[in-house]
């Protein structure tokens, strides 16, 4: 009896598999009838990309629907490649099941660089839309448009700026304002700190100059992120007693501390400059930094020309008696006298350089 039962089960299994196979084989294949048409942006559109606008929308790509002889879900991918490459190695800059994709500056820049673009040089690229189904079958492609893209050097970090009347930045958050930069931890890119003078007042933290969105404030006593200006505003950090403080934030777990700092023994230097093969004066001449009028221990150079492959140090009074250096590129903590800072950049460019002579912290941020 058991053997009969087993035989019946085996036969039923074979029958079920056969039916499933027949069902797949007999299922009608969707036949494409119309390819999508890329309708926006216009052909020959130019894009001069700027790192300060990395997280902003730079373009919205719009196309008409691809049509098949059945009611199916179509997957779309916007592809980019170097002009003349015939989409041999396309970069995908967005996907959707609808008829449009919004693309940020950062995404378009990354795709252009990956496709062979050269930083700060205008290059021609082609963009098209690929339409495909989840099932097998050849994809459909839209018309290709040609655009001109001037990319910037890919910068693998995100920065934070102080803004508010409790800081030297004031409340001016325009793209050209001199917002004071926080110093990113070279070992943990989610941690930023700043030691310096704070006045009575309030402040917030901005990811991007010129935007009140993409910022950090408070929600009660916790650090809070505001993604866009359309989102509810956060509360200001409040400083009720003027003085020196150390602000530390962790944007990953949304925590922060703001604790008093005793700066009474800190020396005030007449001048501090940057020097080295990465700077305009090489090892012969300093590029003088500007001393903050709000806090004499904060120094900066706007639009400093830095050279790829070079090294840099900070020094006081145009002499080697007092100098600072560190082992990490882009940001770090310099010691006295310290090692030469490896500049780490791959392409010459303009950078805002910040230095704190109390903590030895430094950071340099690309301008474009």
Mean residue pLDDT of the chain comes to 91
Instruction: Find all residues with CB under 8 Å of 3, minimum gap 6, and list them.
Output: none
What's residue 8's pLDDT?
46
- The residue-averaged pLDDT of 71-89 equals 94
Do 323 and 315 contact (CB within 8 A), yes or no?
A: yes
* Res 242 pLDDT > 70: yes
* Res 101 pLDDT > 80: yes
What's residue 11's pLDDT?
45
- The residue-averaged pLDDT of 30-55 equals 90
* Res 329 pLDDT > 70: yes
What's residue 67's pLDDT?
87
Do 180 and 161 contact (CB within 8 A), yes or no?
A: yes
Residue 94 pairs with which residues in a beta bridge? 78
pTM score, whole prediction: 0.75
* Res 292 pLDDT > 90: yes
What's residue 346's pLDDT?
79
Number of neighbours of residue 66 by Cβ within 10 angstroms:
25
pLDDT in tens, 197-241: 999 999 999 998 988 999 999 999 999 999 999 999 999 999 999
Secondary structure of residue 296 in the 3-state scheme: coil
What proportions of the chain, in percent to the nearest 5, are helix, strand and coil?
A: 10, 40, 45
* Res 296 pLDDT > 50: yes
What's residue 9's pLDDT?
47
């Amino acid at each position: 009896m058991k053997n009969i039962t087993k035989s019946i089960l085996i036969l039923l299994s074979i029958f079920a598999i056969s039916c499933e196979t027949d069902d797949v084989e007999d299922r009608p294949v969707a036949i494409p009838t119309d390819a999508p048409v890329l309708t926006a942006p216009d052909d020959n559109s130019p894009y001069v990309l700027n790192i300060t606008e990395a997280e902003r929308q730079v373009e919205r790509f719009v196309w008409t629907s691809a049509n098949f002889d059945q009611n199916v879900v179509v997957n779309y991918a916007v592809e980019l490649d170097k002009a003349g490459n015939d989409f041999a190695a396309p970069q995908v800059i967005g996907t959707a099941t609808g008829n449009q994709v919004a693309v940020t500056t950062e995404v378009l820049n990354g795709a252009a660089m990956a496709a062979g673009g050269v930083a700060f040089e205008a290059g021609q690229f082609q963009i098209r839309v690929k339409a495909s189904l989840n099932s097998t079958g050849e994809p459909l492609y839209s018309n290709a448009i040609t655009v001109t893209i001037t990319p910037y050097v890919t910068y693998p970090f995100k920065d934070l700026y102080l803004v508010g009347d409790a800081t030297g930045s004031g409340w001016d958050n325009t793209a050209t304002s001199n917002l004071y930069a926080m110093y990113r931890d070279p070992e943990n890119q989610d941690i930023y700190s700043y030691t310096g003078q704070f006045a009575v007042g309030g402040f917030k933290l901005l990811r991007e100059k010129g935007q009140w969105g993409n910022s950090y404030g408070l929600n009660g006593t916790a650090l809070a992120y505001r993604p866009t200006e359309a989102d509810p505003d956060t509360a200001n950090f409040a400083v009720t007693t003027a003085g020196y403080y150390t602000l530390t934030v962790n944007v990953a777990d949304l925590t922060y501390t703001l604790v008093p700092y005793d700066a009474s023994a800190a020396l005030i230097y007449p001048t501090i400059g940057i020097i080295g093969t990465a700077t305009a004066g090489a090892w012969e001449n300093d590029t003088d930094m500007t001393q903050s009028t709000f806090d004499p221990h904060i120094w900066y150079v706007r639009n400093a020309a830095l050279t790829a492959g070079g090294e840099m140090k900070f020094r006081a009074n145009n002499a080697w008696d007092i100098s600072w250096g560190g082992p990490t590129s882009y940001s770090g903590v310099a010691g006295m006298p310290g090692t030469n800072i490896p500049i780490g950049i791959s392409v010459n460019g303009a950078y805002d350089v910040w230095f704190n002579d109390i903590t030895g912290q430094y950071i340099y941020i690309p301008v474009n």
